[in-house]
């Protein structure tokens, strides 16, 4: 099934039933009077969050949803039957917006949450309501009211505990396949991840953590460049970032190994990659810069232990103003330091849960 995280649909709530114009006519009752019943209420349209759903695929093909109309009233003060409400299940984490105004109507961010988006029209009153001592034979009744009609946008934002972020081809997909049962597409070219992938990570007796492998960022993503907003909106809800950096930029030829200036330039290049992602997060939503994160330098199986240690030290010096900084060196391909990463991940996340 293709992952769909946006949809635009039209909703039409039910029309209220018309009130009845009727007069009581029975044998031996010459002045029965008006007894027209009220019309039934039109059906409303309500959304319910369902954690079993993971995509807005169903809304690609059906674009108009209508609730049932109310039935008209009848004689003998009989009210019309109310129209049946329409209950539409959508994935938990879906934001519903009014297309015309851009207003966010509701954010269904927990399972089972319900929200009425369009209310059905009221049924009309029968002629029984309009009688009076001076007007005993009203020959009119109210028509039913129209139900609400709205055009709305559905926007799914994944609910994950941890978001794996970084440049394309940094090894994010390999990492999630190593620490969970998720199987995203993996290849040696950029942008193999075009949609988010979720994986459940477990460790001993700890509570499981949901991790999202998110499409790679490039400069200008907050303006829509690359996968842009499609990536950033899924990062909003995560509580912790695993910021994966491509350690292969530190690779040196034999001629370069003795040149400390070249080594420092490569440290600087890796740090600039890190800061580029941070700038994109802040430009999209400043509060994202306050998210706790673990910096993961990947592909260290291709590096010498000395280069790896010097890189970590360089980052610590550059980020010395951060009090709770964690930097780990791993190889997602070989599984090197996987246990250390999982231990740090669960420890950090449980402290967030406690807070």
Which CATH architecture best describes the domain 162-354?
3-Layer(aba) Sandwich (3.40)
The answer as to CATH 2.70.210.12 being correct for domain 6-156 is yes
| Average pLDDT value for residue range 331-353 | 89
Predicted local confidence at residue 230, as pLDDT? 57
DSSP per residue over 52-112, as a string?
T----GGGGT--EEEPPPPPPPBTTTBPPPPPPPEEEEEETTEEEEETTT--EEEEE-STT
Of all residues in the chain, the percent with pLDDT exceeding 90 is 43
Which residues contact residue 161 at a Cβ distance below 8 angstroms, ignoring those fewer than 6 apart? 209, 210, 211, 238, 239, 240, 349
**Which structure tokens are listed for 214?**
């998110």
pLDDT, residue 352, reads 82
Q: To which residue do tokens 């001993």 refer?
A: 204
Domain ranges for the chain: 6-156, 162-354
Q: For residues 49-58, give the mean pLDDT.
A: 85
Average pLDDT over residues 255-282: 79
Establish whether domains 6-156 and 162-354 are of one fold: no
Q: Tell me the pLDDT of the chain averaged across its residues.
A: 84
Residue 172's nearest CA partner among 104, 244, 238 is: 244
Crossing angle for the helix pair 338-354 and 172-179, to the nearest 10 degrees: 80
Residue 271 has pLDDT above 90, yes or no: yes
Render pLDDT for 300-324 as a digit per residue (tens, 0 to 9): 998 888 889 999 999 999 998 887 7
């Amino acid at each position: 099934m293709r992952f769909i995280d946006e949809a635009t649909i039209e909703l039409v709530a039910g029309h209220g039933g018309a009130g009845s114009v009727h007069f009581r006519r029975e044998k031996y009752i010459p002045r029965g009077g008006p007894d027209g019943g009220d019309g039934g209420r039109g059906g409303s349209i309500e959304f319910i969050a369902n954690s079993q759903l993971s995509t807005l695929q169903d809304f690609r093909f059906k674009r108009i949803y209508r609730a049932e109309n109310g039935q008209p009233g009848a004689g003998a003060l009989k009210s019309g039957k109310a129209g049946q409400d329409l209950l539409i299940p959508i994935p938990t984490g879906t934001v519903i917006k009014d297309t015309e105004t851009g207003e966010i109507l509701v954010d269904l961010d927990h399972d089972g949450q319900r929200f009425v988006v369009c209310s059905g029209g009221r049924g009309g009153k029968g002629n029984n309501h309009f009688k009076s001592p001076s007007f005993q034979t009203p020959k009119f009744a109210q028509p039913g009211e129209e139900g609400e009609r709205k055009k709305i946008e559905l926007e799914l934002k994944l609910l994950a505990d941890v978001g794996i972020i970084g440049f394309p081809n940094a090894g994010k997909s390999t990492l999630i396949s190593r620490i969970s049962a998720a199987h995203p597409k993996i290849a040696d070219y950029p942008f193999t991840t075009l949609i988010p992938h979720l994986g459940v990570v477990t460790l001993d007796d700890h509570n499981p953590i949901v991790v999202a492998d998110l499409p790679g960022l490039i400069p200008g993503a907050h303006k829509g460049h690359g996968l842009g907003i499609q990536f950033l909106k899924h990062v909003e809800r995560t509580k912790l970032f695993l910021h994966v950096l491509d350690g292969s930029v530190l690779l040196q030829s034999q001629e370069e190994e003795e040149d400390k200036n070249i080594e420092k330039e490569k440290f600087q290049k890796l740090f600039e990659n890190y800061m580029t992602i941070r700038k994109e997060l802040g430009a999209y939503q400043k509060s994202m810069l306050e998210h706790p994160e673990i910096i993961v330098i990947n592909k260290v199986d291709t590096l010498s232990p000395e280069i790896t240690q010097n890189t970590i030290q360089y980052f610590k010096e550059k980020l010395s103003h951060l009090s709770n900084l964690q930097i780990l060196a791993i190889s997602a391909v070989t599984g090197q330091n996987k246990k250390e990463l999982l231990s740090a991940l669960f420890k950090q996340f449980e402290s967030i849960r406690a807070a």
